[in-house]
Amino acid sequence: ETGVTQTPRHLVMGMTNKKSLKCEQHLGHNAMYWYKQSAKKPLELMFVYSLEERVENNSVPSRFSPECPNSSHLFLHLHTLQPEDSALYLCASSPQVADNSPLHFGNGTRLTVT
């Protein structure tokens, strides 16, 4: 149990589908993050939220749409994805967005786009 829960753990979707990934943190943190981990590539930061406000959008295509309704929940809405978007999507949280506190990661959603 990491304190950061992601659902679903696995997702298969077609290129025309719309789906959402969910992340919930039980740590009382104010910052939440989405990362993408593709096969044989380092983790890539996608989005950063601080107290429900997006503070970083790391040149991510618009087919990925984040939503942070409160400081405990983070969503990643997906639509018209491409096969190259298949990856492990990781959510993380930290006490604040800009200090030396470590990030706490969830176990990710393994996404396959067919």
Q: Report how many residues bind another protein under the rule CB under 8 A.
A: 26
45 lies in the binding site for another protein (CB under 8 A): yes
Residue 60 token pair: 């991510």
Contact letters for another protein, residues 55-74 (x by CB under 8 A): xx------------------
Residue 49, helix vs strand vs coil: strand
42 lies in the binding site for another protein (CB under 8 A): yes
Euclidean distance between CA atoms 110 and 50, whole angstroms: 25
Q: Site residues for another protein, window 71-100 (CB under 8 A)?
A: 90, 92, 94, 97-100
64: nearest Cα among 43, 36, 105, 42: 36
Binding residue for another protein, selected from 66, 74, 106, 113, defined by CB under 8 A: 106
Binding residue for another protein, selected from 11, 64, 108, 111, defined by CB under 8 A: 108
Euclidean distance between CA atoms 55 and 80, whole angstroms: 25
Q: In the complex with another protein, which residue's Cβ is closer, 46 or 81?
A: 46
Exposure string for 79-113, b = 16+ CB within 10 A, e = fewer: eebeeebbbebbbbbbeebeeeeebbbbebbebeb
Binding residue for another protein, selected from 2, 20, 30, 71, defined by CB under 8 A: 2
Binding part of the chain for another protein, among 1-9, 13-21, 60-68, 73-81 by CB under 8 A, reads 1-9
